[in-house]
Structure 1
Amino acid sequence: MIEHIIEIAKEAGQEILKYYDEEIEVKSKSDDSPLTKADLAAHHHIVNELKKLTPEIPIISEESGIPDFDERKKWDRFWLVDPLDGTKEFIKKNGEFTVNIALIVQDKPMLGVVYVPAFDTLYYGDRSSGSFKQESDKSPVQLNTLPYDKSEKARIVVSRSHGDDSTKRKLEKIGIEVSEEVPSGSSLKFCLVAEGKADLYPRLGPTMEWDTAAADAVYRYSIAEGEKPSPLSYNKENFKNPYFLLGLNENINAEEL
C-alpha cells in the first residue's frame, strides 16, 4: 500500500508547486494560521485519491475539519493528512514544506509518508519494513539510527518559525547539554532526528495531530528492529499534541519543562 501513498503524496506535491513561483495569495483561517490555494489543491487531490484507494477508511485532513469524538472514538483506523505542512515556509519560499499522509491504527501511526516537493525528497516508514529516505531518482536509503544517549551533548532541531531561546535552558534542567541548534521547518524536524542529522526535537509549543503523524511514523521505524518510543498518540478528543521531547529512549513529560 505504501507505494500508492507515495504516488499520491508526490502528485499532491506537484499540485503545490503549480503555485510556488507565482505571487502567493494568503488567507487566514479561524485560528489565524495561513491558508493558500496550494493547501486546498493538495487537500482535494489527496482526499479524492484516498477515497478511491480505500473507500472504507475515514479521512481527516487539516483542511476538512475534525469529526466529533463520539464518532471518531469508534474508528480502529483512519487516514490523517496535512496536505501542506509548513505553509509559512511555503509563503517564504524556502522549500521546507511537506506533504504528510499517515495511516493511524488504534491511536498509533502504522505508516507515514513525508514528501518535500521543492527538493524532490521523500521520507517514508511503516512498521513492517522500516523507514527510508529517497532523494529524486536515487535508490531509497534505509534509516537506522539509535535513540539519543543523555550522556552526550545534543544537537537539537529548532523551528524556523517558532524559535524559543529558553529551550536550551529547560533542557539543561534535565541534564541535557545542547551542542548545536539545527533549524528546520515543518515535519522535516522529525525526519532530521530519524536520519541522525539531529539528536532531539524538543517541541515546547502547540501542534496538532496532523502536523506530526506521518513524520512520527518515519521516526518510530527508523531503527533496525522494533520501533523507537514516541511520546505522541493519536485520535485524542481535542486532537492537540502535548509538548514533547522526541529522540529519547524514555518518555519525559515535556509539559513540566
Structure 2
Amino acid sequence: MKTSTTIAAAASDDSAILALFEELAIAAGKVVLDVFHTGCAVDHKQDLSPVTAADRDSEVIILAGLRQHLPHIPCVAEEESAAGICPTDIGDTFILIDPLDGTKEFVNRNSDFTVNIALVRNGVPVVGAVFAPISGKLYLGRPGLAELVMLDDGFAVVSRRRIAARKGFEPLTIVASRSHRTPETDDFILGHKNAEIVSVGSSLKFCLIAAAEADLYPRFGPTMEWDTAAGDAVLRAAGGSTQTVDGKPLTYGKRGHAGEKDFANPAFISRGLVVEAVTG
C-alpha cells in the first residue's frame, strides 16, 4: 500500500479511507478475474447460495488490508459471517465487505459481478467502492464526491470523472435484478408508465443510478447489507437515496432483532433525483 494512504487512512479521514478501499478493491478484482478466466469449483453454503475460490480469495485480500491499516474499525464480511465469524461489537462505525457480489452471474459466465467495500457510520453507508473487473469500471463514493474510474486491462487508471444522479424524466429507466426478479418487482414496474427496463446483476444497479444512466431500483427480494452498502454509498454520494417501502432511509447494522436474520435488508427502493409518475 502507499505510505501516504496508510498514514492518512489510519486517521479515519473519509478521502483516505476511500483511497484504501480503491486499492483493495482493485487488488481483489485482479484475483477474481484470474479465477473467472481459469475456472473453479462451485460449492454451496448452508443457505444454498453458491460460493467459489474467487469469493474466498478476494475476501482474504480485502480483510488483510483493512485489518492492517484500519485495525480500529470492525469488519463484517460475507464469507466470514457464513462461517460464523463476526465481531461481537460493531459499534457505530464498521466496514461491510462483499468480496464477490453476483456470484451467480460469475458462475454463469456473465459479466455483472463486483467487489464491494463500504464504511458504515451511524447506520449510514458513507464511503463505498464497487469494482466491476470485467468492464474495468470502479465506482467510488464518499461525502462530497462520487466518481467513475476507468481501468485498462493492466488495472492501471485511465480516467476519472465525477458522476451525479439525474432528475428523472418520462419514461423512467428502472433497473431490476437479472437473477432475482419477484412478482412485487413486476408490479412496481407495471405502475410506471412506459418505463424502460434494464436488467443487470450485482450492486451495479445502484451505480447505474449514481451515474445518471437509470432512475429507480426496486428490490423486494431478500438481500444482505454487504450486498448493498457499497453501491448505496456511491448512490448517496451522487445525490440519490435508498428508502424502505414505507419511505424511511435504509439503515445498516441491524442485529439481534427477533425473527430477523442479522444484517438482512428489508425491501427497498433506490432513486436518483426522481419524482415518480405512477399510474394504476
User: C-alpha displacement at 1:167, in angstroms?
Assistant: 2.7
Aligned to 1:53: 69
Gaps of 5+ in 1: 253-257
TM-score (norm 1): 0.87
Question: What is the letter of the counterpart of residue 221 of structure 1?
Answer: A
Q: Measure, in 2, the Cα distance between the counterparts of 1:215 and 1:8.
A: 16
Q: Measure, in 2, the Cα distance between the counterparts of 1:163 and 1:106.
A: 31
Q: Report if aligned partners of 1:156, 1:178 keep a CA contact under 8 Å in 2.
A: no
Aligned to 1:146: 166
How many residues in Structure 1 have an aligned counterpart in Structure 2? 241
Aligned to 1:135: 150
Aligned to 2:205: 189
Matched, 1:239 2:263: yes
TM-score (norm 2): 0.80
Q: Which residue among 146, 152, 167 is the counterpart of 2:185?
A: 167
Q: Give me the CA root mean square deviation.
A: 2.2
Q: Measure, in 2, the Cα distance between the counterparts of 1:153 and 1:15.
A: 39
| Cα shift readout 1:84-140 (whole Å, capped 9, x = no counterpart) | 00001111122110000001111111100001111211000001x311011223321
Question: What is the letter of the counterpart of residue 240 of structure 1?
Answer: A
For 1:1-257, list aligned pairs within 5 A. Answer: 1=16, 2-65=18-81, 71-72=89-90, 75-127=91-143, 129-136=144-151, 137-148=157-168, 152-164=170-182, 167-173=185-191, 176-223=192-239, 228-231=240-243, 232-237=250-255, 238-247=262-271
Question: What is the letter of the counterpart of residue 163 of structure 1?
Answer: R
| Cα shift readout 1:160-184 (whole Å, capped 9, x = no counterpart) | 11124653433445xx324211010
Aligned to 1:255: none
Gaps of 5+ in 2: 1-15, 152-156, 244-249, 256-261
Q: Measure, in 2, the Cα distance between the counterparts of 1:184 and 1:99.
A: 15
Identity across aligned pairs (percent)?
Answer: 39
**Partner SS, residue 177 of structure 1:** coil
